[in-house]
Every structure is written in C-alpha cells, then in structure tokens.
C-alpha cells in the first residue's frame, strides 16, 4: 500500500478501519484539555469503559449477599476465574483446560519453575536472552541459588551480535544444540520489552524439546499482541501479565498456561494450595491434595474477584473482535507509524534508528540520534504519552483497539515541531 503523510490520508485510513468504533470503548487521559495520543499500551493498557459495570456488579453482590456471594452472586465468586479460561485460550492458542488466572506474573513464573525446572547433576543449565527484563533475571538467579547453583555457570544468556540490536534465531538454536543434554530449561520473553522483537517461539520451542529440555515463555509483551499457538507449538508452560495489551488494570492478575501433557498428575512437583484441589471435595477439608485435572491445579488461594472482574470485562472485547482482526490492524497501523517516522526524519534532516526488527508486534523502539530526554519531555507535555528507556530510546506502541491512524499523523507533526523548535519544557509527568 502507498502511504502518505497527510491528515486527509490518515483520516481516510480511519474511515476504512473496521475496528475504529472500538476507540470509543476506552477512557483516554487528557493533557491541556485534549485527549492524549497513547503509545504505552505495552506498559499499561487504557481502561475499557465497560470495566466499571463489571466491578460494580461484584461490589453490589458483596453489599447485598456478603459471604453468600461465593455461590449466589450473579457470577458466583468461587468459580469466577473459570469464565476467563475460554477467551484466554483463544488469545494464547491453548485449550481452555490449559489456562488459569492467578497471582501476578513473576509469582507465577516462580511457581511454574517449581514444576518445570528440576535440575540434575548433569542437566541443570538455563537459557535466557541477554538483558532479559530485570524481574526475569532476578527470578532465574534466585531459582538457581535455591538449588545451590551458580548463575555464572548455570545461566546462559544469548547475546545479540556486535553492532546489532536484535537476536538472531540461529544463534539461539546453535546455543541450544551446543549445550545439549546439559540444558534443563529455555525461558525467554516471547516479545522483548526493550526492542519489541518477537522471537520465533515455535522454532525455539521445537529445538529445546529436541534436546530434552523444558521450554517456557514469559509472554508479558506477547499476550494480546501477537499470534500465539502454545498448545500446537508444544510449549511446556507460559505466563503473562494482563495489564498491558489486555487492559485489566495496574498490577492485575496474571495468566498461566500448562500444556495438557503435564495436567492431571498427582505426583508432579508443585507448590499446592486448597484452590487447586478437586472442586467436589474442596469444602470437605480433606488432608490430602487432589489436583484438579486442569491448569487450575497450580492455584493456591481463591481468586481476588475484584481484580479479575476488570480482566473479564476486557476479554469480552477480545471475544467480540478476535485476534485475527486485531493483528491485521496492528500490522497496518505500525507500518504507518514507521512510514511517518521516516518521513519526518527526511523533513527535519535528523537521524532516526528504528531498532525493532521486522519480526515485531505493536511496538517500535526508536533511537532519535542527536536528540535526548528534552525531546521526550516535550512530547509528553504535548499529550504524546510514550515511554523512555535509557540510554536514548523512545518506545512507541500503537494498540489496535484504541489507536487511530490520525494519531500517527498528529504524532509526526508534534515530533517535527519538537525537533525544529528545540523547545525545552519543564517536566510535566511522573517517571
């Protein structure tokens, strides 16, 4: 498609966009009385307007029923989380029984590693990407310490090649083959938080399984963003947060995936709690754990319903639209953003370096050479809510549910003005 960096062309794309109406389903902050251009759905998604009614329903049932709400609420609380399994399964490419909702992301990764990182004297090494998200790094290092292992020996980080900003799949594959039967676990972020690269999860999973390793994925930046086929790919386990592309609210509940081959096993190593035991016997208070035949067996405690309600509200939007349509718009709007950036680069005589490779989701990470934090501050003051990462990267994530093509055009005009005017505003936002 031939793009044009004009307001009329951007508005034409919006008029043709079959998802344009969903923009009205979300609440936008305002800066200087104007609705913002929101580029940080990769950090915290906007609030769906329908969220309020889902939370109000729980509050009303709590007010009117108190403890009886567990069984007699409009959506009974004791199995509230089960309503999320089917829509989530479609988003991550799983069977409903392979999905559950509980805790938060790093907590769930720790719990899943209890089951899927079982080092032996020979097979004990873990592969992750260089400079993984800090929480993943801390988690992996602490897991190794718990097992009496030294991260300098047991944790293998896959590096980018010198002078490149992305990982090459062949380098990961070669390292898996090299470690071979010493490899216990591959655990990588499916979409890298810094450069926005989408890893070849299918190929990496297949290679990890071929040498006898377990393979898990941190899907914090992937779930609700890119196509996932966790069951088909044979992934052992995965976890994701719900507050980025899935719009469930700050710090909200995490989702997990456990492949069906690991389900319904009473003897699998696992930290256990009463909400993971057989529902039919849960309130008999039996002394011995009887695991549910689903991923719910990894649950420890009853689900925080007030937290899960916003997640369920957002998932109704995904059910209406479907990942195929979201991905189709995502590709188009990100391509248009890339085009606008390159056009502005020509107009201002600047040097923009997009470090996100072609294997990407919603996010473009951009070096604005010759520019610095001052330009980012200017963008924020003008109502462009983007994200800064040291040393000099701006992350831009147009989310297909609520980002318009006109947003991309208007962002370009604000960016151009910020560069050409060299305005140096006071900071008007929080880090």
Instruction: Report pLDDT for 422.
Output: 67
Question: Are the beta carbons of 168 and 158 closer than 8 angstroms?
Answer: no
Cis amide leading into 391 (omega within 30)? yes
Question: Are the beta carbons of 117 and 126 closer than 8 angstroms?
Answer: yes
Q: Are residues 215 and 142 both part of a single domain?
A: yes
Q: Are residues 90 and 220 both part of a single domain?
A: yes
Q: Which residue has the tokens 């951009």?
A: 366
Any domain includes 431: no
Any domain includes 46: no
User: Could you give the number of structural domains in the chain?
Assistant: 2
Give the mean model confidence (pLDDT) for residues 119-127: 98
pLDDT at 390 over 90: no
pLDDT at 431 over 70: no
> What band does 398 get if pLDDT is binned at 50, 70 and 90?
very high
Give the mean model confidence (pLDDT) for residues 278-294: 91
Question: Are the beta carbons of 187 and 220 closer than 8 angstroms?
Answer: no
Instruction: Report pLDDT for 425.
Output: 45
Q: Are residues 15 and 71 both part of a single domain?
A: no
Count CB atoms within 10 A of the CB of residue 57.
Answer: 15
Question: Are the beta carbons of 143 and 247 closer than 8 angstroms?
Answer: no
Q: Are residues 57 and 202 both part of a single domain?
A: yes
pLDDT at 68 over 90: yes
Q: Are residues 236 and 114 both part of a single domain?
A: yes
Instruction: Report pLDDT for 370.
Output: 79
- Cα dihedral 337/339/342/343 (nearest 10): -110
Q: Which residue has the tokens 């936008």?
A: 28
Give the mean model confidence (pLDDT) for residues 317-336: 98
Any domain includes 2: no
The first and second tokens of residue 201, run together, are: 């999860």
Give residue-wise pLDDT tens across range 341-359.
999 999 998 888 999 999 9
Closest C-alpha among 269, 270, 287, 289 to residue 279: 289
Instruction: Quote the mean pLDDT of the chain.
Output: 95
Q: Are residues 351 and 317 both part of a single domain?
A: no
Residue finishing a domain among 321, 345, 370: 321
Question: Are the beta carbons of 112 and 258 closer than 8 angstroms?
Answer: yes
Instruction: Report pLDDT for 132.
Output: 87
Burial class (CB in 10 A: 0-12, 13-18, 19+), 227: middle
Q: Are residues 361 and 410 both part of a single domain?
A: yes
CA distances from 266 to 263, 289, 298, 301 (A): 9, 8, 11, 18
Closest C-alpha among 372, 412, 428, 403 to residue 36: 403
CATH of the domain at 91: 3.40.640.10
The first and second tokens of residue 49, run together, are: 């307007």
Any domain includes 124: yes
Give residue-wise pLDDT tens across range 258-280.
999 999 999 999 999 999 999 98
Closest C-alpha among 37, 88, 43, 44 to residue 402: 37
Instruction: Report pLDDT for 255.
Output: 98
Residue 129 is inside which H or E element, if any?
A: strand 125-129
Closest C-alpha among 411, 417, 418 to residue 339: 411
Specify the 3-state DSSP secondary structure of 252: coil
Q: Are residues 200 and 290 both part of a single domain?
A: yes
Q: Are residues 244 and 336 both part of a single domain?
A: no
Q: Are residues 98 and 148 both part of a single domain?
A: yes
Q: Where are the beta strands (DSSP E) in 190-327?
A: 214-218, 237-240, 254-258
From the CA atom positions of the chain, what is the Rg in Å?
A: 23
Any domain includes 426: no
> What band does 427 get if pLDDT is binned at 50, 70 and 90?
very low
Closest C-alpha among 123, 131, 227, 135 to residue 176: 123
Any domain includes 430: no
d(CA 91, CA 264): 23
Give residue-wise pLDDT tens across range 302-314.
999 999 999 999 9
The first and second tokens of residue 416, run together, are: 């151009």
- Beta partners for residue 34, in sequence order: 31
Any domain includes 71: yes
d(CA 161, CA 368): 22
**pTM of this structure:** 0.95
Give the mean model confidence (pLDDT) for residues 7-15: 98
* Alpha helix segments (H runs only) across 282-404: 305-321, 323-348, 373-381
The first and second tokens of residue 55, run together, are: 């939370």
Question: Are the beta carbons of 198 and 359 closer than 8 angstroms?
Answer: yes
Segments forming the whole domain that contains residue 146:
52-321
Question: Are the beta carbons of 40 and 388 closer than 8 angstroms?
Answer: no
Instruction: Report pLDDT for 373.
Output: 86
> What band does 283 get if pLDDT is binned at 50, 70 and 90?
confident
- DSSP β-ladder status, 26-27 and 30-31: unpaired
CATH of the domain at 409: 3.90.1150.10
């Amino acid at each position: 498609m031939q793009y044009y960096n004009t307001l009329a062309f951007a508005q034409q794309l919006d008029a043709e966009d079959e998802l344009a109406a969903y923009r009205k389903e979300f609440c936008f902050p305002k800066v200087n009385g104007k609705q913002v251009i929101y580029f940080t759905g990769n950090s915290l998604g906007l609030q769906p307007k329908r969220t309020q009614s889902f939370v109000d329903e729980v509050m009303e049932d709590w007010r009117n029923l108190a403890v009886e709400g567990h069984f007699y609420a409009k959506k009974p609380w004791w199995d509230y989380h089960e309503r999320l399994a089917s829509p989530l399964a479609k988003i991550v490419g799983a069977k409903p029984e392979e999905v559950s909702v509980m805790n938060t992301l790093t907590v769930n990764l720790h719990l899943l590693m209890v089951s899927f990182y079982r080092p032996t004297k020979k097979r004990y090494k873990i592969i992750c990407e260089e400079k993984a998200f800090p929480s993943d790094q801390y988690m992996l290092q602490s897991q190794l310490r718990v097992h009496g292992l030294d991260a300098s020996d047991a944790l293998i980080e896959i590096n980018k090649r010198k002078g490149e900003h992305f990982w090459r799949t062949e380098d990961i594959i070669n390292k898996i083959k090299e470690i071979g039967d010493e490899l216990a676990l591959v655990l990588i972020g499916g979409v890298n938080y810094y450069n926005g690269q989408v890893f070849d999860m299918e190929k990496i999973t297949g290679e990890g399984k071929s040498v006898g390793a377990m393979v898990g994925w941190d899907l914090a930046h992937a779930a609700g963003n890119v196509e996932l086929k966790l069951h088909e790919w044979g992934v052992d386990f995965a976890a994701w947060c719900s507050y980025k592309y899935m719009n469930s609210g700050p710090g909200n509940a995490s989702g997990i995936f456990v492949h069906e081959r690991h389900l319904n096993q009473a003897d699998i190593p696992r930290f256990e709690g009463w909400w993971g035991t057989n529902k039919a016997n849960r309130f008999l208070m039996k002394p011995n754990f009887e695991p549910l035949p689903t991923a719910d067996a990894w649950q420890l405690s009853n689900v925080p319903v007030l937290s899960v309600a916003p997640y369920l509200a957002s998932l109704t939007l995904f059910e209406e639209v479907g990942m195929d349509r979201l991905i189709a718009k995502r590709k188009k709007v990100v391509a248009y953003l890339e085009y606008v950036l390159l056009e502005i680069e020509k107009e201002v005589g600047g040097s923009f370096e997009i470090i996100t490779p072609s294997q990407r989701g919603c996010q473009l990470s951009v070096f604005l050479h010759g520019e610095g934090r001052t330009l980012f501050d200017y963008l924020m003051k003008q109502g462009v809510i983007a994200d800064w990462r040291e040393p000099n990267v701006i992350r831009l994530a147009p989310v297909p549910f609520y980002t318009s093509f006109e947003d991309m055009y208007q962002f370009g005009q604000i960016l151009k003005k910020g560069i050409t005017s060299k305005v140096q505003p006071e900071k008007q936002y929080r880090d």
